A and B are shown apart, each in its own frame.
Chain A
Amino acid sequence: DTGVSQDPRHKITKRGQNVTFRCDPISEHNRLYWYRQTLGQGPEFLTYFQNEAQLEKSRLLSDRFSAERPKGSFSTLEIQRTEQGDSAMYLCASTSFPGHMPSGYTFGSGTRLTVV
């Protein structure tokens, strides 16, 4: 068990381009979450999956954002037509549910997106 892995660690893209991030959760975790963190702020919830089902999406997740978890294992977060306001750290977390509360979530190191 190597924890939650996110790839890439850093991404610089031009405005208008599409980007895709990947998250590999802890293998036995059935829940996977995406959060976004801008400078000086705490992480904000974007969406989460239980196995392959996407159960909740935040209003922060505009139509340009899409997340998938096709086989209930890794997940991808795609941003289409990136805007400068999308520049942020995108964090992935996983946990086992039920039974998650004793240890909270395990977060990855994040993907830092810079849109120029």
Chain B
Amino acid sequence: AQKVTQAQTEISVVEKEDVTLDCVYETRDTTYYLFWYKQPPSGELVFLIRRNSFDEQNEISGRYSWNFQKSTSSFNFTITASQVVDSAVYFCALSSGDTGNQFYFGTGTSLTVIP
């Protein structure tokens, strides 16, 4: 079974603080892909990053960084020096195998950055 768990329902931080959003996944497939999406109030899901199961390198993109650890089945997302524009709901998602049939989304973490 495929499952994604985002235990943090809501997080509030003050602007310029760092914040980490947790994501834990379950899958029996050896080939899988992990994603993070941002959903601002407008509703559109915005792609942030993809990671495949064979690449455990951490990645940094500007103020965003991702930590992928297969040993703990986690794919955490850190925002450094948060800004008000980062306020949104963030979803972690899993797509297993090479067929790309569907994504399994977590329940999302609502991030509020207070000015």
Name A's B-contacting residues (CB within 8 A): 31, 33, 35, 40-45, 48, 55-56, 58, 89, 91, 93, 95, 97-98, 100-110, 112
Contacts and interface: CB of A to CB of B under 8 A. Distances in A.
Contacts of B93: 42
A84 to B, nearest CB: 21
A106 B95 CA distance: 14
B14 interface: no
B47 A110 contact: no
A107 B43 CA distance: 10
Contacts of B106: 42
Contacts of B52: 101
Interface of B: 4, 33, 35, 37, 42-47, 50, 52, 91, 93, 95, 98, 100-108
Contacts of B100: 31, 95, 97-98, 100-101
A83 to B, nearest CB: 22
5 nearest A-B residue pairs (beta carbon): A42-B105, A107-B45, A45-B102, A109-B44, A104-B47
Contacts of A56: 101-102
10 contacts: A42-B91, A43-B91, A43-B103, A45-B104, A56-B101, A95-B100, A103-B50, A105-B103, A109-B44, A112-B43
Contacts of B105: 42-44
A106 B43 CA distance: 13
B44 A108 contact: yes
A19 B26 CA distance: 36
Given A58-B102, A97-B100, 10 more contacts: A40-B108, A41-B107, A43-B91, A44-B105, A45-B102, A56-B101, A91-B45, A98-B100, A104-B50, A109-B44
